[in-house]
Chain A
Amino acid sequence: MSLEAENPVFLREVRIGFAGRVIQEEMTFAIENGEFIAVLGPNGAGKTTLLKLLLGLVRPEAGEVWVFGRKPRRGNPAIGYAPQFRTLDTNFGVRARDLVGFGLDGHRFGPGFPSRKRRELIDRVIEEVGAAGYAEAPVGELSGGERQKLSLAQVLISNPGLVLLDEPLANLDMAAAREIIGLVGRLRVSRRVAVMLVTHDINPLLPHIDRVLYLANGRSAIGAPQSVITRETLSSLYNHPVDVVEAMGKKFVLGVET
């Protein structure tokens, strides 16, 4: 096994498809320990499918996939995954800390009794994401940003080496989005955890991320934002003319729906 295959993520010549349609092909890249990657691209480009590939929920049609030097498998404790839509039933009572506790032992069978150690573990991670103020509140009463913090806490409580966040910023206002991004940026340093964050808007992430993985039109490009989000790279990805405009310190991609 090469050194690259020990990385949190290593893909070689991977093709993924859905219902007979090729979604992505020739995906080759590695993600290193503690790296913060933004995953960008239009709807249907395969962002969520890529995450499912790493989780072992989707199989590659071709190529090699390695997660910490092993084949992807369901329930991999090395990965923490926060899905895009948590269909939490807000009518029914669970508290913030119950949701976080699922990350610890929600998948375990057997009787299972509450213990002080369990309580302390939950308290500690809730503190870490800054959600201590509403640890006992019912989830139904919390805002989108507060729920995202709990989602992060649920993911982090099992100490994963790789965290996959599927559109954590959707439906958040700009202030809440910035808070979550700042939190993820701090946590990946303090915990040395690799993060792949799927998003539609790269701008608030620019000061925090190491690289961008851009998926479009069945192909992908990975690299520093200034080398990927360019007229040349995106035009060749999309296979038609795309322009990137910089204004007020932000990047705007013109000519495509993102």
Chain B
Amino acid sequence: MLKVLFGSQMLAHAFLGGGLVGLVAGIVGYFLVLRAQAFAAEAFTDIGFAGATGAALLGVASLAGMLAFSLLAAAGLGILGDRARGRDVEIGMVLSFALGLGVLFLGLYSRSSATHAMSGINILFGSIMTINSTDILLATACCATALGVLALVHRPLLFASIDPAGAEARGVPMRALSVAFLAIVALTTAVCVLLVGILLSASLLIAPAAAAVNFTNRPARAVALSALMAVAITWLGLVLAFYGAVRPLPAGFYIATLAASTYAVSLVFRKFQGGRI
């Protein structure tokens, strides 16, 4: 059925995978923006890079490597403190160390053959055009887990993110919540990296959510809007990549550009409308 709709299996997979990533990135991104942890999300994508390249070197599935590395990092960051807010130095250290490891693994791996060198590029920029049904299944499992946990903790998480002192007094377990959220972020970034690559994950995780809070002051609407925009950006990016230009340009370019433009529009909207949608 999908094949008929999109004309090819490849396109069907790309739209399915892209929609999935957009949905989860948009929702999780809202909480990232609220907690001012955009930089932590960036670090997680780099940690995912190290995990993916390490896994490739060992001949293991790259998602397994990403999950192992980023869940470990989530636990580490959680132990460091309640919130990663303002922990720029620690996060910067971990980020550059992870990138260094990733470069090492990639160097060792791509030296062996030309196809291996190509898979390095895929990790960096994503492989949305080459994802297969196994990737889709794995991504669905990760996304369902992330959204399921988020559904359970969203009220205390929102309270703790917006009014930490009040939440602590009401008995919200701040530390546990922080670790749980970082685990959700780890799952989300792993899927993002798998589908759209390290370098573009941030544009889907941060831009739609940051734009959404400029458009509306209502938390529920902001989450819905953020997810909607992230999916729309991904799909529109894919459409443009396939049919838009005379010469096919990378989908990542369109996705990143659309994400940045959406945020720019939201800034103008906020200035004149004050976030009242």
Instruction: Give residues in A with beta carbon < 8 Å to B.
Output: 55, 57, 74-76, 79, 81-89, 91-95, 98-99, 102-103, 105-112, 114, 138, 141, 151, 154
Contacts and interface: CB of A to CB of B under 8 A. Distances in A.
B253 interface: no
Contacts of B274: 138, 141
A139 B164 CA distance: 15
B159 A107 contact: yes
Nearest to A105: B155
A141 B219 CA distance: 16
Nearest to B222: A93
Interface string B206-220: 000000010011111
Contacts of A112: 154-155
Contact of B156 (A84, A106, A138): A106
B168 interface: yes
Nearest to B151: A111
A105 B171 CA distance: 12
Nearest to A164: B169
26 contacts: A55-B169, A81-B166, A82-B166, A86-B165, A86-B166, A87-B163, A87-B165, A88-B162, A88-B163, A91-B213, A93-B218, A93-B222, A98-B218, A99-B162, A102-B158, A102-B162, A103-B166, A106-B158, A106-B159, A106-B167, A107-B156, A109-B153, A109-B156, A112-B155, A138-B275, A154-B166
Given A93-B275, A99-B162, A105-B155, A74 B171 contact: yes
B34 interface: yes
Contacts of B168: 57
Interface of B: 33-34, 36, 151-156, 158-159, 162-172, 213, 216-220, 222, 274-275
B153 to A, nearest CB: 6
Given A82-B166, A92-B34, A138-B217, A111 B152 contact: yes
A103 B158 CA distance: 12
Main secondary structure of the interface of A (DSSP, over half): loop
Contacts of B213: 91-93
Given A92-B33, A93-B275, A106 B170 contact: yes
Contact of A75 (B151, B152, B170): B170
Given A107-B155, A108-B156, 6 more contacts: A75-B171, A92-B213, A93-B218, A102-B166, A103-B166, A106-B163
B252 to A, nearest CB: 28
A84 B156 CA distance: 20
- Which of B36, B217, B219 is most buried by chain A, counting CB atoms within 10 A of its CB? B217
Contacts of B152: 109-111
Given A93-B217, A102-B159, A57 B166 contact: no
Contacts of A79: 169
B155 A106 contact: yes
Contacts of A86: 163, 165-166
Nearest to B277: A93
Contacts of B218: 93, 95, 98
A256 B196 CA distance: 63
Contact of B167 (A102, A109, A151): A102
Contacts of A107: 155-156, 159, 167, 170-172
A42 to B, nearest CB: 22
A94 B162 contact: yes
A226 to B, nearest CB: 33
Contact of A83 (B34, B158, B165, B222): B165
Nearest to A110: B152
A57 B216 CA distance: 35
A205 to B, nearest CB: 23
A111 B156 CA distance: 11
B219 A94 contact: yes
B166 A83 contact: yes
